[in-house]
A and B are shown apart, each in its own frame.
Chain A
């Protein structure tokens, strides 16, 4: 039933590239399941998802994916440790209520954790805030402050600090520019923190 044409946004393709074939994957906040479907089709993974919106869950299940309706903030505790090879949190961590706890849970559940997020340290964001004195609206941060689901925005430097605090190993890091092109991000990445619109991190637990 996996019949939808792939129209995967470039960032998701980069994430998919990090996933090993035939692995067990959990996509947290999987939307309509586009990434999972792509992974199931191209990499033969055991694909599972959690999605908050009913419409997203129904669309995913209607397309033959194993997805449950759930909330990253509350439902990750239900998963056993090391249940998955890869746990993916794509453009979602900034919308969780407790990003640190969520990341902790992801590192417990998955052998590897892939996190992507918009970089609030991007120069355009800094400049808009500095010059206009208003909350920035950009290509990735599209909502006005009072309507945004992004309640915990961070910069690349902030994220690296959190990863270190949680004793996570940064196995790979990519800086994503406005056109969706990526380049390797060399941690701590002060330059990338200024020039990248977003980032993708591949983490694993050191302990």
Chain B
């Protein structure tokens, strides 16, 4: 295996070591994609938390969602905020870093160090932009498997993730059943629905309609499609919340004013909030990466890879599954999780299914839902017991 490490410098404004660990595989180890194209050389960036035990049996892979990255815990180097699952991942928390070796890998196509449209194409010396090949969820998982091979981790104790992370969990369980001891797909689906694709298309059109997008060459031309990317985020952000949560947070409350302006300012708090969300997002995310990753989600249809039968994807699986949904999630509603559960049952798999009652919408998986913590702690603990993992990694 000829791999060479090289410091990553393409992510502007960050010290090279802020990304976590980075590997660039040799040209003899390309990532062959579902489209038939190759990424070579392939770069993968990841973060780890906790310690790998001597048997390498306590590796816990976290798969991140669309706009998240490898910073599941700790402090995010760009935003300065806590990692996306810092309520769940840490010493003594349900995903206990005293016990498990937690790995979170930036997806291929992303913009936090792994190969993606934002990175420099070694063949041209310029950012890939739209020359980056279209990737799929299965491609993301293949790249993760390559990294785990490199790390010598043959089998994962658990693969967990929400939303697009959950899609990767399902893909992992289907593609590498013998490598996945337990799987925790949360607020996800085995295929992207027409409605989900439609929302993503709105976002992509907003980005591409921004003159600063420059046909995808904005990095070369020195512009940033801020408005387009912000609108894409604003539209998407609505889908992450429930109507009840939006109403609870904002209602029809006015923003910094006593009366309606009779203009098109952000009269309402909810408008101001969405504008803020859009503006913040532009500071940390790459517009082309948003195009590629939303495309990967749209293309996801696990049953299609198994003759249209989702049960076939999991037939004979020895993996212990816990499928999780939230009552107010209308982006990945409970019936989508139930389809996964039915397929797992039909395949005779070991599956638990829990739906949590919350008004927090799709984003609930990232938020403080105490009942979810208790339940996942039980699932993970029982799986660890079945795996023979001790309470402490080195014990």
By a beta-carbon cutoff of 8 Å, the part of chain A in contact with chain B is 1-2, 46, 48, 54, 57-58, 60-70, 75, 78-80, 83
Are A1 and B378 within 8 A (Cβ)?
A: yes
- List 7 A–B pairs whose Cβ atoms lie within 8 Å, in order of A's numbering: A1-B382, A62-B377, A63-B382, A65-B352, A68-B323, A70-B353, A78-B345
Known: A61-B322, A61-B379. A66 touches B351 (CB 8 A): yes
Given the complex, which residues of B lie within 8 Å of A46, measured CB to CB?
Answer: 350
Are B378 and A61 within 8 A (Cβ)?
A: yes
Given the complex, which residues of B lie within 8 Å of A54, measured CB to CB?
Answer: 354-357
Known: A48-B350, A58-B371, A61-B352. A68 touches B382 (CB 8 A): no
Are B381 and A64 within 8 A (Cβ)?
A: yes
Q: Is B346 an interface residue (CB 8 A)?
A: yes
The residue of chain A having its C-beta at the shortest distance from the C-beta of B323 within the complex is: A68
Known: A58-B374, A78-B345, A79-B345. A69 touches B350 (CB 8 A): no
A2 to B: closest C-beta gap in Å? 8
CA distance A67 to B378 in the complex (A): 12
Known: A61-B375, A78-B342. A69 touches B385 (CB 8 A): no
The residue of chain B having its C-beta at the shortest distance from the C-beta of A24 within the complex is: B348
CA distance A46 to B382 in the complex (A): 13
Are B354 and A78 within 8 A (Cβ)?
A: no
Known: A54-B357, A62-B374, A62-B377. A68 touches B345 (CB 8 A): yes
CA distance A75 to B351 in the complex (A): 14
Given the complex, which residues of B lie within 8 Å of A83, measured CB to CB?
Answer: 348
Q: Is B362 an interface residue (CB 8 A)?
A: no
By a beta-carbon cutoff of 8 Å, the part of chain B in contact with chain A is 320, 322-323, 341-342, 345-348, 350-357, 371, 374-375, 377-379, 381-382, 385
Given the complex, which residues of A lie within 8 Å of B347, measured CB to CB?
Answer: 80
- A-B contacts besides A79-B346, A83-B348, 8 pairs, CB < 8 Å: A48-B350, A61-B322, A61-B354, A62-B375, A65-B352, A66-B350, A68-B345, A78-B345
CA distance A7 to B355 in the complex (A): 27
User: Out of A58, A64, A78, A80, which one reaches B382, CB within 8 Å?
Assistant: A64
CA distance A81 to B379 in the complex (A): 27
The residue of chain A having its C-beta at the shortest distance from the C-beta of B353 within the complex is: A68
Given the complex, which residues of A lie within 8 Å of B351, measured CB to CB?
Answer: 66, 68
User: Out of B354, B374, B377, B379, which one reaches A69, CB within 8 Å?
Assistant: B354
8 shortest interchain CB distances as A-B pairs: A64-B382, A62-B378, A68-B353, A1-B381, A78-B342, A1-B382, A62-B375, A61-B352
Known: A57-B353, A83-B348. A64 touches B375 (CB 8 A): no
CA distance A65 to B320 in the complex (A): 11
User: Out of B342, B348, B350, B354, which one reaches A58, CB within 8 Å?
Assistant: B354
Given the complex, which residues of B lie within 8 Å of A61, measured CB to CB?
Answer: 322, 352, 354, 375, 378-379
CA distance A79 to B345 in the complex (A): 6
CA distance A68 to B378 in the complex (A): 14
B95 to A: closest C-beta gap in Å? 15
Are B385 and A1 within 8 A (Cβ)?
A: yes
A155 to B: closest C-beta gap in Å? 33
Are B378 and A63 within 8 A (Cβ)?
A: yes
Are A65 and B354 within 8 A (Cβ)?
A: no
Given the complex, which residues of B lie within 8 Å of A2, measured CB to CB?
Answer: 382
The residue of chain A having its C-beta at the shortest distance from the C-beta of B373 within the complex is: A62
Are A64 and B385 within 8 A (Cβ)?
A: yes
Interface centre among B322, B345, B375 (most CB of A within 10 A): B345
CA distance A57 to B354 in the complex (A): 7
Known: A61-B378, A80-B348. A69 touches B342 (CB 8 A): no
Given the complex, which residues of B lie within 8 Å of A65, measured CB to CB?
Answer: 352, 382
CA distance A54 to B345 in the complex (A): 19
CA distance A57 to B352 in the complex (A): 9
The residue of chain A having its C-beta at the shortest distance from the C-beta of B325 within the complex is: A69
A65 to B: closest C-beta gap in Å? 7
Are A67 and B352 within 8 A (Cβ)?
A: yes
B389 to A: closest C-beta gap in Å? 12
The residue of chain A having its C-beta at the shortest distance from the C-beta of B322 within the complex is: A61
Given the complex, which residues of A lie within 8 Å of B356, measured CB to CB?
Answer: 54, 58
The residue of chain A having its C-beta at the shortest distance from the C-beta of B349 within the complex is: A66
Given the complex, which residues of B lie within 8 Å of A79, measured CB to CB?
Answer: 345-346
B121 to A: closest C-beta gap in Å? 46
Given the complex, which residues of A lie within 8 Å of B378, measured CB to CB?
Answer: 1, 61-64
CA distance A66 to B318 in the complex (A): 13
The residue of chain B having its C-beta at the shortest distance from the C-beta of A40 within the complex is: B382
